[in-house]
Amino acid sequence: MVDINWDELGFDFIPTDKMFISKADASGNYDEGKVVPFGNIELSPAACVLNYGQGVFEGMKAQRTKDGKIVLFRPLENGKRMKESAERLAIPPYDPEKFVEAVKATVLANKDYIPPYKKGSLYIRPILFGSGAILGVAPSPEYTFIVFVVPVGPYYKEGFNPIKLEIIKNYHRAAPKGTGAAKAIGNYAGSLVPGKLTKSKGFAQEVYLDAKNEKYIEEVGTANFFCVVDGVLLTPRLTGSILPGITRKSVIQLAKDKLGMTVEEKDIPYEETFKSSEAFCTGTAAVITPIGSITFEEKEYIFNDFKVGPVTQKLYDLLVGIQRMEIDDSYNWVEVVK
Ligand SMILES: *Cc1c(COP(=O)(O)O)cnc(C)c1O
């Protein structure tokens, strides 16, 4: 057994026992891959990923159900998205079905690190990058796919509390026709400075506007945005500079099917969000995070008296219930790992 105090888990790196690794040549012939002891890897200082940022990643989680099963949520969606992200960066894609097999093998090899029911989850981090040495700007001659896992605590230890956001105008996350729709590693380095500035002012995260018009809501830090205006659930349409979240996609479906709501994926001018009766953002780690207020140019717009709204709560309960196999999963979104 592993020596972890499950009640003190946060979202910090902790080494685990095993990782999965597979390599490919320039034409993308990945070897069958294997589970190996977790540890450092060796890279040439000329590795393409270090010099030119040719790398993509995914984020997913495994958790335990009440009766002890190990479950994943829509893992093939992550596999397909990693393929699309890879293609955008000229990385030979890793087969999505094999991706799921690799994820399952890594989870099982680190079974002892999966927190007990409701104590958190095993965060899964697949990465794929150009590991070959290169000097001129060109795709790497070699690629490495790795899956590693880290146990993390429950996101809402202190309760399901609405957060404060700030709309920023000095920085953009992604540009039209750029790499915003890919989970490309370079997108995240650029968000560190704006993220830090916003947090230093007491906000949880920054809201990005579109780079072309500086008018439409794009994303919240590293999560997708939703708001309810006049009873309609609104979310930014996938313009190419927005990351197509799997939680986003799932929430849209649940809102339509289970709450009978009208959902509009459209350009949302930031002023329109000020009229929201409630708002939230979505991502794998936190699932759904309620938004209590949005500040723009020093003025704070508060939603639902800073309380969790009914739509936010219902969608959270539905999604988390399905993920833990406590609500009928008519979509077959949940996969048991054996
Ligand atoms: C990963 C990510 C999301 C959320 O995607 P999920 O599939 O729901 O986890 C949203 N925005 C950005 C920028 C991301 O990197």
Separation between Cα atoms, residue 255 and residue 222, nearest integer Å: 22
Tell me the pLDDT tens digit for each residue of 222-256. 999 999 999 999 999 999 999 999 999 999 999 99
DSSP assigned state of 116: P
Q: 163-323: which CATH number, 3.20.10.10, 3.40.50.720, 3.30.530.20, 3.40.50.2300?
A: 3.20.10.10
Q: Which of 11, 54, 10, 19 is nearest to 40 (CA)?
A: 19
Atom of ligand 1 nearest to the CA of 244: 5
CA-180 nearest atom, ligand 1: 13
* CATH architecture, domain 6-152: 2-Layer Sandwich (3.30)
pLDDT tens digit string along 24-76?
Answer: 999 999 999 999 999 999 999 999 999 999 999 999 999 999 999 999 999 99
Q: What is the pLDDT of residues 299-317, one digit of tens each?
A: 999 999 999 999 999 999 9
| Ligand 1 in reach of 248 Cβ (< 6 A) | yes
Ligand 1 centroid to Cα of residue 134, in Å, is 30
∠ at Cα 190 (59, 267), nearest 5°? 75
Q: Which residue from 284, 315, 316, 319 has its CB within 8 A of the most atoms of ligand 1, so it is best to mutate?
A: 284
* Measured distance CA(216)–CA(269) in Å, rounded: 4
218 in contact with ligand 1, CB cutoff 6 A = no
Beta bridge partners of 66: none
d(CA 19, CA 97): 18
Q: Residue 74: which of 57, 61, 87, 93 has the closest Cα? A: 61
155 pLDDT above the threshold of 90: no
Per-residue pLDDT band for 262 (boundaries 50, 70, 90) equals very high
pLDDT in tens, 156-178: 877 789 999 999 999 999 999 99
The residue whose two tokens read 């010099």 is 51
- What confidence score (pLDDT) does residue 323 get? 97
Q: Where are the domains of the chain?
A: 6-152, 163-323
Pocket test for ligand 1, best of 88, 206, 224 (most atoms within 8 A of CB): 224
Q: Which runs of consecutive H residues, i.e. helices, occur in 123-219?
A: 185-189, 192-200
Lowest mean pLDDT among 115-119, 153-157, 214-218: 153-157
- Give the distance between the most distant pair of CA atoms in the chain: 56
What helix, strand, coil percent values describe the chain, rounded to 5? 25, 30, 45
Q: Tell me if 283 CB under 6 Å of ligand 1.
A: yes
Residue 314 is predicted with a pLDDT of: 98
Query: Among residues 140, 165, 107, 116, which one has the least CA distance to residue 9?
Result: 116
User: How much is the pTM?
Assistant: 0.97
Give the mean model confidence (pLDDT) for residues 201-216: 97
Q: Kindly tell me if the per-residue pLDDT of 152 is higher than 90.
A: yes
Q: Is 205 in the pocket of ligand 1 (CB under 6 A)?
A: no
User: Concatenated DSSP letters for 44-102?
Assistant: -TTBHHHHH--EEE--EEEEE-TTS-EEEESHHHHHHHHHHHHHHTTPPPPPHHHHHHH
Phi, psi of 112 (to 5 degrees): -65, -15
Of 197, 213, 224, nearest to 287 by C-alpha is 224
